[in-house]
Amino acid sequence: MKIYGVSILAVCFLAGHILGDYLGRLFHLPGNLGGVGFSMLLLMLLNDYFKKNHLMTPETENGMLFWGSIYIPVVVAMSAIQNVKAALSGGWVVILAGILGTAACYLLIPVFSRFTKK
């Protein structure tokens, strides 16, 4: 049923949000530190786990695929409300951190692709 896909997505979002808030407090930052990313990662891991153990019915998979595809525009909308001007006023360190983080992700693609089946 599609409702299972919604509930799995909701659990992943809440877990990621709680983890992001916890990391924000841990580093003394006034906000969520990567909660949306953690929730997306958790959603991918749960999806893979359910498929490998044959726990996912086609209806549940369709629900997860549908709401997972809706999730991306929600993430973009959440990012749009963040204060970009305040982030840029932090100086070059913020811009450098963004560039280095993006470069690291691109460099890790070959490493992670080795784990996939050929």
pLDDT beyond 90 at 103: yes
- Give the pLDDT band (50/70/90) at residue 83: low
Whole-number Cα distances in Å, 53 to 8, 111, 115:
16, 25, 19
pTM greater than 0.75 (yes/no): no
For 1-24, the pLDDT digits (tens) are: 566 777 887 888 889 889 988 988
Cα 92 to the center of its chain, rounded Å: 25
Query: What dihedral angle (degrees, nearest 10) is formed by the CA atoms of 63, 66, 68, 72?
Result: -160
pLDDT of residue 111: 87
Kindly list the domain boundaries of the chain, sorted by start residue. 2-82, 83-118
